[in-house]
């Protein structure tokens, strides 16, 4: 069965997993993560992709940083492991469609330098890189893709 893509809502983040693949365990950690993710929705277009049984696959979007630059982000859900390829194919199609409509735009994605999957995923989405980047959250790798 097909996945369902709908505009993202803040409450979708209640089902999202953190960087460890689990829901944040402490209340303070949960509030910090939820607040940060909720602000991402204010920054640009975002979509929630769900399995037909309603479980969250992922939430993905763009955080617009000026007229021609945006940061790509996503948050995984529990159903992603069951529908990984299908969810990322749909997310990539939507990503390209939104970016082409917004062009010219350069989209940047940040990944942990120790991540194994991030470089593969970034290349699969058409990003080039990596370039070392110092962010407020620490050192990351920066990946970029330009739409003209």
pLDDT in tens, 74-91: 999 999 999 999 999 999
Could you tell me the residue range of the domain that residue 110 belongs to? Answer: 4-147
Q: How many domains does the chain have?
A: 1
Provide DSSP, 74-118: EEE-GGGGGSHHHHHHHHHHHHHHHHHHH-SEEEEEEE-TT-SHH
* Mean model confidence pLDDT for the chain: 89
Say if CB 69 and CB 106 are below 8 A apart. Answer: yes
Q: What's the pLDDT score for residue 46?
A: 94
- Note whether 3 and 90 are within 8 A (CB): yes
Q: How far is CA 114 from the centre of its chain?
A: 18
| Other CB atoms within 10 Å distance of the CB of residue 125 | 18
Is residue 145 within 8 Å of 126, Cβ to Cβ?
A: yes
pLDDT at residue 26, as a whole number: 55
Give me the CATH number covering residue 76. Answer: 3.40.630.30
Query: Do the Cβ atoms of 141 and 132 come closer than 8 Å?
Result: yes
Q: Tell me: the pLDDT tens digits for 26-62?
A: 555 667 677 777 888 888 999 999 999 999 999 999 9
Q: Which helix (H) or strand (E) holds 31?
A: helix 27-42
Which DSSP letter does residue 19 get? T
Q: Look up the pTM and report it.
A: 0.87
């Amino acid at each position: 069965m097909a996945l369902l893509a709908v505009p993202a809502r803040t409450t979708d983040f209640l089902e999202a997993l953190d960087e460890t693949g689990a829901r944040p365990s402490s209340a303070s950690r949960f509030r910090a993560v939820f607040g940060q993710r909720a602000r991402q929705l204010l920054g640009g277009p975002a979509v929630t992709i769900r399995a037909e049984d309603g479980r969250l696959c992922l939430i993905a979007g763009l955080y617009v940083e000026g007229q021609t630059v945006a940061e790509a982000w996503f948050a995984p859900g529990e159903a992603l492991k069951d529908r990984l390829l299908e969810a990322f194919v749909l997310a990539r199609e939507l990503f390209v469609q939104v970016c082409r409509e917004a062009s010219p735009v350069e989209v940047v994605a940040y990944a942990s330098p120790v991540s194994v999957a991030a470089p593969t995923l970034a290349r699969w989405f058409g990003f080039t890189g990596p370039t070392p980047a110092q962010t407020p959250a620490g050192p990351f790798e920066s990946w970029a893709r330009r739409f003209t």
